[in-house]
């Protein structure tokens, strides 16, 4: 057996954890906002879908910033856990 050749073939590679899924984009928030139904009961955030839709680009950008913040921390805020 060629022990030296065998050891050369084994390589230890160390990878840093990288997300396989990219951060959610503003476009994805826009698509989700468009799919919201109007005149429905409020969710746990108590924000009517009509407000999200009427807020336009500014509100969707701010929502996306919040989502990305949570995404990068990899932990849900306590308020979202109920």
Which residue carries 């919201």 as its tokens?
36
Look at residue 62 and tell me if it is in a domain.
yes
Look at residue 17 and tell me if it is in a domain.
no
Look at residue 54 and tell me if it is in a domain.
yes
Look at residue 10 and tell me if it is in a domain.
no
| C-beta of residue 26 within 8 angstroms of C-beta of residue 60 | yes
DSSP3 helix / strand / coil % (the chain, rounded to 5): 55, 0, 45
Tens of pLDDT, residues 14-71: 666 666 788 999 999 999 989 989 888 888 778 898 988 898 889 999 999 999 999 9
Range of the domain at 42: 23-77
Q: How many domains does the chain have?
A: 1
Whole-model pTM: value is 0.65
Supply the pLDDT for residue 82.
67
Supply the pLDDT for residue 80.
77
Supply the DSSP symbol for 22: P
| C-beta of residue 28 within 8 angstroms of C-beta of residue 60 | no
Supply the pLDDT for residue 16.
62
| C-beta of residue 66 within 8 angstroms of C-beta of residue 28 | no
């Amino acid at each position: 057996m060629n022990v030296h050749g065998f050891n050369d073939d084994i390589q230890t590679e160390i990878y840093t954890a990288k997300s396989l899924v990219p951060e959610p984009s503003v476009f994805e928030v826009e698509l989700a906002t468009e799919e919201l139904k109007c005149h429905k009961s409020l969710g746990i955030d108590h924000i009517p879908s009509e407000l999200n839709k009427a807020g336009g680009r500014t509100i969707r950008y701010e929502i996306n910033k919040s989502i990305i913040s949570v995404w990068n921390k990899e932990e849900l805020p306590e308020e979202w856990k109920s």
